Amino acid sequence: MSLHEETLSQIDNAAKIMDLDAEMKAYLERPQKIHQVAFPVKMDDGSVQMFDGFRVQHNNLAGPYKGGIRFAPEVDLDEVKALATWMSIKCAVVGIPLGGGKGGVTVDAKKLSQTEKERLTRAFVQAIADYIGPAQDVPAPDMYTDSQVMAWATDEYMKLKGGDQMGVFTGKPLEFGGSAGREEATAQGGVYIWNEYAQRNAIEPSKTKVIVQGFGNAGSNVARMLHNEGYLVVGISDSKGGLYCDHGIEIEQAIVCKVEYGAVNECEHAAINYNQIEEGHACKRVTNEELLEQECDLLVLSALENQITEDNASNVKAKYIFELANGPTNPNADEILSKNNVVLLPDILMNAGGVTVSYFEWVQNATNYYWQAEEVQNRLKEIMLNAFDRVESNRSKFNCSYREAAFITALERLSNLAKLRGVLS
Q: Which residues are catalytic?
A: 102
Question: Toward ligand NAD, which CB reaches closer, 218 or 387?
Answer: 218
Tally the C-alpha atoms within 13 A of residue 290's C-alpha that lie toward its C-beta: 10
Question: Toward ligand NAD, which CB reaches closer, 304 or 336?
Answer: 304
Q: How far is the CB of 198 from ligand NAD (least distance, A)?
A: 21
Residue choice 67, 178, 216, 235 for contact with ligand NAD (CB under 6 A) = 216
Q: How far is the CB of 237 from ligand NAD (least distance, A)?
A: 4
Helix (H, G, I), strand (E, B) or coil at 187: helix
From the list 149, 67, 49, 24, the residue with the least C-alpha distance to 107 is: 49
Q: 351-370: which residues touch ligand NAD (CB under 6 A)? A: 351, 354
Q: How far is the CB of 347 from ligand NAD (least distance, A)?
A: 7
Question: Toward ligand NAD, which CB reaches closer, 167 or 219?
Answer: 219
Q: How far is the CB of 419 from ligand NAD (least distance, A)?
A: 29
Q: Does 405 bind ligand NAD (CB under 6 A)?
A: no
What residue number has its CB nearest to ligand NAD? 216
DSSP secondary structure string, 191-230? HHHHHHHHHHTT--GGG-EEEEE--SHHHHHHHHHHHHTT
Q: Does 323 bind ligand NAD (CB under 6 A)?
A: no
**Side-by-side strand order, sheet with 298-301:** 284-286, 241-244, 232-238, 209-213, 298-301, 320-323, 343-345
Question: Toward ligand NAD, which CB reaches closer, 15 or 234?
Answer: 234
Q: Does 82 bind ligand NAD (CB under 6 A)?
A: no
Helix (H, G, I), strand (E, B) or coil at 53: strand
Q: What are phi and psi of 207, to 5 degrees?
A: -100, 10
Q: Does 215 bind ligand NAD (CB under 6 A)?
A: yes
CA 249: distance to chain centroid?
Answer: 24
Q: Does 141 bind ligand NAD (CB under 6 A)?
A: yes
Question: Toward ligand NAD, which CB reaches closer, 106 or 288?
Answer: 288
Per DSSP bridges, beta strands 209-213 and 137-141 are unpaired
Helix ranges (DSSP H) in 19-49: 22-29
Q: Does 239 bind ligand NAD (CB under 6 A)?
A: yes
Q: How far is the CB of 325 from ligand NAD (least distance, A)?
A: 3
Q: Does 299 bind ligand NAD (CB under 6 A)?
A: no
Q: How many CB atoms lie within 10 A of CB 51?
A: 18
Per DSSP bridges, beta strands 209-213 and 100-106 are unpaired
Helix (H, G, I), strand (E, B) or coil at 220: helix
- Which range in 24-32, 41-49, 236-244, 267-275 contacts ligand NAD by CB under 6 A? 236-244
Q: Does 238 bind ligand NAD (CB under 6 A)?
A: yes
Q: Does 79 bind ligand NAD (CB under 6 A)?
A: no
Q: Does 217 bind ligand NAD (CB under 6 A)?
A: yes
Between the CA of residue 188 and those of 10, 223, 243, 333, 415, what are the distances in Å? 25, 11, 23, 26, 29
- Which range in 234-242, 333-341, 377-385, 415-423 contacts ligand NAD by CB under 6 A? 234-242
Q: Does 189 bind ligand NAD (CB under 6 A)?
A: no
Tell me how many residues contact ligand NAD (CB under 6 A).
Answer: 24
Q: How far is the CB of 6 from ligand NAD (least distance, A)?
A: 14
Residue choice 69, 218, 344, 345 for contact with ligand NAD (CB under 6 A) = 218
Interatomic CA distance for residues 117 and 233, integer angstroms? 33
Q: Which sign, positive or negative, has the C-alpha torsion 327, 332, 335, 338?
A: negative
Interatomic CA distance for residues 7 and 292, integer angstroms? 23
Per DSSP bridges, beta strands 209-213 and 298-301 are parallel
From the list 104, 61, 67, 64, the residue with the least C-alpha distance to 84 is: 67
- The residues that touch ligand NAD, with contacts defined as CB under 6 A, are 141-144, 186, 213-219, 237-239, 288, 302-304, 324-326, 351, 354
